[in-house]
Amino acid sequence: MPRYRRSFADCRLNLLFVPLILSLSLGCTDTLREIPMKQADNLLPPVAKKVPFELNLHGVKRIDDYYWLRDDERKDSQILAHLEAENRYKTAQFAPYEALQQTLFDELIGRLDKDESSVPYKWHSHWYSRRYQLGFEYPVMIRSDSDMRVSQASAAILSEDAQLASQKHNNEQVLLDVNVRASGHDFYGLGGVSISHDESKLAFGEDTLSRRMYKIYFKDIDSGALLDDVLDGTDGGSVWANDNQHVFYIKKDPQTLLGNQVFRHRLGTEQSQDVLVYEEQDDTYYISLGKSLDETRIVLFHESTITSQVSVLDADQPLTQFEPLLPREEGHEYSVSKLGDEYYILTNWQAENFRLMKASESQISDKSQWQEVIAAAADTRIEDILLLKDYLIVQTRTQGVSQIEVRPFNEQASYQLTFNDPAYVVGLDVNASQPSDKLRIYYSSPTTPESVYEYDLSQPMNRRLLKQEKVLGDFDSERYQAERLFITARDGAKVPVTLVYRKDKFTKDGSNPLYQYGYGAYGHTVEPDFDSSAISLLDRGVVYAIAHVRGGEMLGRPWYDSGRMLNKQHSFDDFVDVTKALVAQGYGDSNKVLAAGGSAGGLLMGGVINQAPELYFAVAAHVPFVDIVTTMLDETIPLTTNEYDEWGNPNDKVYFDYMLSYSPYDQMTRQAYPHLLVTTGLHDSQVQYFEPAKWVAKLRDYKTDDNKLLFHIDMEAGHGGKSGRYRRYQDTAQEYAFFLGLLGLN
């Protein structure tokens, strides 16, 4: 579980989680369905034994024949043998498509800029950046005394000696070579990376198992030496106090994997001596840490699905305690940004789509003292703000389209940044200095690679392109067309859809294969951005569609609320209705419809193929959350209790009955299903491996067709799949090979 965690703490306080070292952060007849993947060596699919396990609640008896596939220790030899058998079967069935998969993998990584680097940003006295080097999976974190863009741009024409001289002149320092840290590990996940206030020390988190339990290490930047301090069992992030000696971090419960305790650590002491400064008693809440943009406050966020709270601590007084800015109130969601002695509050108090208020620090706990800055609007969701010294930057979304408005604090008129694509995503990039009169944003569309722009706010609409993602090969954005549609669902709701296709490969006559992606949970908006991987589909004539179904927040908070709890069925209906409409309008061949989703999107896939399997030729369900009732009844499973406000608490019969009505595992019937590719990671901490394992075992028993059902278990990875810049594309190549191979487009 989950499936995706929506976080209001992402940037709502204009945080410096680091400074952020820029995270490391698709004319046939029915005979087509009869084209099977060739069985290799006559290998038969694994058949899991049945061991009936009775589950009884609210007078409903459920028999789970595959409950035995759960092993929290991941050591049961019988279970591991079954999973390995599934992997062998999948490998054998993929044999005819190995060459296609390799071709696709080569295409995907061949488009990547081998020496890609981020745009440097200044924080305090240095310019921070990260860059990849040819042939390496992980980035190198670097900093310099001056803007490195000049030296990077000229590096290609300089001799090696001249490059070294340039680097020496800029006093370029390697903060962290992640390739060195990852060496020898099958999986490596870098957590938070943060720099002390005086820029002398580095803290970074590491996960080498893919369970999202991190160790935090510390490094002296000038000497390059690791300090003796090591913090175990954390969420990977750390926030420095301004004395450069104390750091705050969150420790996770080893059973539930929830971060529930905030500790203060003093450099040079053992972790056992760390001081517990806060413990979250309500296990329906997540907690996270950050720092205000003016660096005066360390901030603790408390978040459940529908309620939030913010507590602060003076960054100059690390031995004090966190104090809430206002009391926790069920159903009240808010975030804050600080400017001088005032807080700007982005709140849903009496505002479904949020409004912006402000109050002094001494009055913020009394909502009656709040002053309205921006009123709520029924058709516009205020998503984010940035407070610079002389400017208020506001990010909104209207009818699914993102907008950024600049509001000067002087008498100058406000204005909006303008963009031309029919579908796009725009947002606030790294803006690390509150006194700055420069604004950085990122921009992307289905046909425009991600770009970083800088605006000089003292000269309205004066912008320059700092960087655009390089797409190697013969990519030309003019070959592709994006569209934005609204599809009328069965209940009259208008569902946004983003489409992209290659112009010379597309004819609106219902002859093209259609790839449809969806998610629809946690208020997470699947943005219409650029994905270089999708080119491999578009160039083969596939139309790529994103169905922005209810449960996401593409159309504001009401769109999210109408796809969660007792409204979840809308997500499935929307996805199915979009498929029907796109086929009816000629965007796709009814015999060549592909669908994909992961995590909570895997739940979407599971529900859709139960309810309308005839619409889909092949489906990929990645780390799918498909056994929702059983999982949400088990509070020992990581993250369960945090999600009662998303799905409902099945201990309550009303929610039990409703969740059971759409649960993919429980509602499986003896019918024909599409070709299916299911993936998981043995160490997944969010959707435990046994959910898809049980689902696949039951599908093998229930399905009445001869279509392929392939199950790939990454025995080293977790929820996010493979680590590394290149290796992660192996999973994408596998999915695309599955789809294209079945379609005969190999």
Name residue 409's beta-bridge partners.
none
418 CB-contact burial (10 Å; exposed 0-12 / middle 13-18 / buried 19+): exposed
Residues 6+ apart with CB under 8 A from 639: 1, 2, 5, 256, 257, 258, 686
Residues 728 and 624: their CA atoms lie apart, in Å, by 18
Q: What confidence score (pLDDT) does residue 701 get?
A: 97
Which DSSP state fits 691? H
Q: What confidence score (pLDDT) does residue 115 get?
A: 78
φ, ψ dihedrals at 456, nearest 5°: -90, 105
154 labelled catalytic: no
User: What's the Cα-to-Cα distance from 722 to each of 37, 64, 322, 437, 508, rounded to whole Å?
Assistant: 25, 31, 37, 40, 37
Residues 734 and 280: their CA atoms lie apart, in Å, by 41
Is the separation of the CB atoms in 445 and 434 below 8 Å? no
Q: How confident is the model at residue 166 (pLDDT cuts 50, 70, 90)?
A: very low
Tokens read off for 200: 């002398």
Q: How confident is the model at residue 149 (pLDDT cuts 50, 70, 90)?
A: low
Q: Which of these, 13, 74, 28, lies nearest to 591 by C-alpha position?
A: 28
Instruction: Determine if residue 355 is left, alpha or beta; phi over 0 gives left, psi from -120 to 50 gives alpha, anything else beta.
Output: beta
Which residue in the list 235, 719, 723, 731 is annotated as catalytic?
719
Q: What confidence score (pLDDT) does residue 681 get?
A: 93
Residues 571 and 732: their CA atoms lie apart, in Å, by 24
Residues 718 and 685: their CA atoms lie apart, in Å, by 7
For the cut 80, the answer to whether the pLDDT of residue 499 exceeds it is yes
Angle at 190 between CA 226 and CA 276, to 5 degrees: 70
Residues 651 and 55: their CA atoms lie apart, in Å, by 13
Relative orientation angle of helices 77-93 and 690-702, to the nearest 10 degrees: 60
Residues 471 and 446: their CA atoms lie apart, in Å, by 13
Name residue 103's beta-bridge partners.
none
Q: How confident is the model at residue 170 (pLDDT cuts 50, 70, 90)?
A: low
For the cut 60, the answer to whether the pLDDT of residue 650 exceeds it is yes
Instruction: Work out whether strand 514-518 and strand 480-488 pair parallel, antiparallel, or are unpaired.
Output: unpaired
Is the separation of the CB atoms in 493 and 574 below 8 Å? yes
Helix (H, G, I), strand (E, B) or coil at 193: strand
Q: What share of the chain is helix, strand, coil (3-state, %, to 5)?
A: 25, 30, 45
Place of tokens 């698709």: 26
User: What's the Cα-to-Cα distance from 108 to each of 536, 727, 731, rounded to whole Å?
Assistant: 7, 11, 11
Q: What confidence score (pLDDT) does residue 212 get?
A: 85
Residues 685 and 248: their CA atoms lie apart, in Å, by 24
The residue ranking higher by pLDDT, 642 or 672, is 672
Question: In angstroms, how far is CA 128 from the centroid of its own chain?
Answer: 24
Rounded mean pLDDT, 215-231:
96
Which residue in the list 599, 663, 685, 723 is annotated as catalytic?
599
599 labelled catalytic: yes
One-letter amino acid at 459 equals: Q
Q: What confidence score (pLDDT) does residue 685 get?
A: 80
Tokens read off for 79: 């279970």
For the cut 80, the answer to whether the pLDDT of residue 27 exceeds it is no
Is the separation of the CB atoms in 175 and 143 below 8 Å? yes
For the cut 70, the answer to whether the pLDDT of residue 333 exceeds it is yes
Rounded mean pLDDT, 368-394:
96
The residue ranking higher by pLDDT, 15 or 183, is 183
Residues in the chain: 746
Strand ranges (E), 136-225: 140-144, 173-177, 189-195, 201-207, 214-220
Residues 6+ apart with CB under 8 A from 676: 609, 618, 619, 620, 621, 699, 707, 708, 709, 710
Is the separation of the CB atoms in 741 and 100 below 8 Å? yes
Tokens read off for 657: 């009955």
Instruction: Determine if residue 58 is left, alpha or beta; phi over 0 gives left, psi from -120 to 50 gives alpha, anything else beta.
Output: left
Q: What confidence score (pLDDT) does residue 558 get?
A: 95
Q: Determine how many CB atoms are found less than 10 A away from the CB of residue 490.
A: 11
Strand ranges (E), 480-548: 480-488, 494-502, 514-518, 543-547
Is the separation of the CB atoms in 280 and 289 below 8 Å? no
Percent of the chain scoring above 70 in pLDDT: 90
Tokens read off for 134: 């040819």
Q: How confident is the model at residue 24 (pLDDT cuts 50, 70, 90)?
A: very low
For the cut 60, the answer to whether the pLDDT of residue 648 exceeds it is yes
Tokens read off for 588: 């796709």
Helix (H, G, I), strand (E, B) or coil at 511: coil
Sheet strand arrangement including 401-408: 380-387, 391-398, 401-408, 415-416
Helix (H, G, I), strand (E, B) or coil at 194: strand
Q: How confident is the model at residue 461 (pLDDT cuts 50, 70, 90)?
A: confident
Number of H helices, E strands in the chain: 14, 37
For the cut 50, the answer to whether the pLDDT of residue 158 exceeds it is no
Question: In angstroms, how far is CA 43 from the centroid of its own chain?
Answer: 37
Which residue in the list 573, 589, 684, 714 is annotated as catalytic?
684
Q: For residue range 385-426, what is the model confidence (pLDDT) as tens digits?
A: 999 999 999 999 999 999 999 999 988 899 999 898 999 999
Q: What confidence score (pLDDT) does residue 160 get?
A: 46
Q: Which of these, 104, 112, 113, 114, lies nearest to 536 by C-alpha position?
A: 104
Rounded-to-10 torsion of CA 221, 223, 228, 229: -10
684 labelled catalytic: yes
* Mean of the per-residue pLDDT values of the chain: 90
One-letter amino acid at 213 equals: M
Q: For residue range 263-288, what is the model confidence (pLDDT) as tens digits?
A: 999 999 999 999 999 999 998 899 99
Q: Which of 130-139, 331-340, 472-481, 662-671 is least confident?
A: 130-139
Q: What confidence score (pLDDT) does residue 459 get?
A: 86
Residues 8 and 354: their CA atoms lie apart, in Å, by 13
For the cut 60, the answer to whether the pLDDT of residue 154 exceeds it is no
For the cut 70, the answer to whether the pLDDT of residue 34 exceeds it is no
Instruction: Work out whether strand 189-195 and strand 323-324 pair parallel, antiparallel, or are unpaired.
Output: unpaired
Rounded mean pLDDT, 306-317:
96
Q: How confident is the model at residue 722 (pLDDT cuts 50, 70, 90)?
A: low
17 CB-contact burial (10 Å; exposed 0-12 / middle 13-18 / buried 19+): buried
Mapping DSSP onto H, E and C, the string for 556-610 reads CHHHHHCCCHHHCHHHHHHHHHHHHHHHHCCCCCCCCEEEEEECHHHHHHHHHHH
Residues 536 and 270: their CA atoms lie apart, in Å, by 51
For the cut 70, the answer to whether the pLDDT of residue 169 exceeds it is no
pTM assigned to the model: 0.87
For the cut 60, the answer to whether the pLDDT of residue 157 exceeds it is no
Tokens read off for 32: 């087509």
Q: How confident is the model at residue 720 (pLDDT cuts 50, 70, 90)?
A: low
> In angstroms, how far is the first alpha carbon of the chain from the final one?
35
Q: Which of 16-30, 169-183, 232-246, 342-356 is least confident?
A: 16-30
